[in-house]
Amino acid sequence: MSLAGHRRQELHQNPKTRCQTIVCKREEQKQSIGKIENSPRPNRPKIPK
């Protein structure tokens, strides 16, 4: 979706939300690793600001 890509670019341009974007990417990596390891734990909810 182009809208998601555009929003991601806005987050990168905004220094306040840039760190949050990095955290989101880190969480995505954790989830992907969990899937590879067949972790029984379901996807954890995103941490509130």
pLDDT in tens, 3-29: 555 555 665 566 665 556 667 677 777
Question: 21 burial class (0-12, 13-18, 19+ CB within 10 angstroms)?
Answer: middle
pTM here is 0.27
42-47 average pLDDT score: 65
Query: Who has greater pLDDT, 1 or 3?
Result: 3
State phi, psi for 2 to the nearest 5 degrees: -65, -30
Q: Is residue 22 part of a domain?
A: yes
Q: How many domains does the chain have?
A: 1
Q: Is residue 15 part of a domain?
A: yes
- Domain with 30 in it: 2-35
Q: How many Å apart are CA 49 and CA 19, to the nearest integer? A: 11
Q: Is residue 49 part of a domain?
A: no
**20 CB neighbour count, 10 Å cutoff:** 14
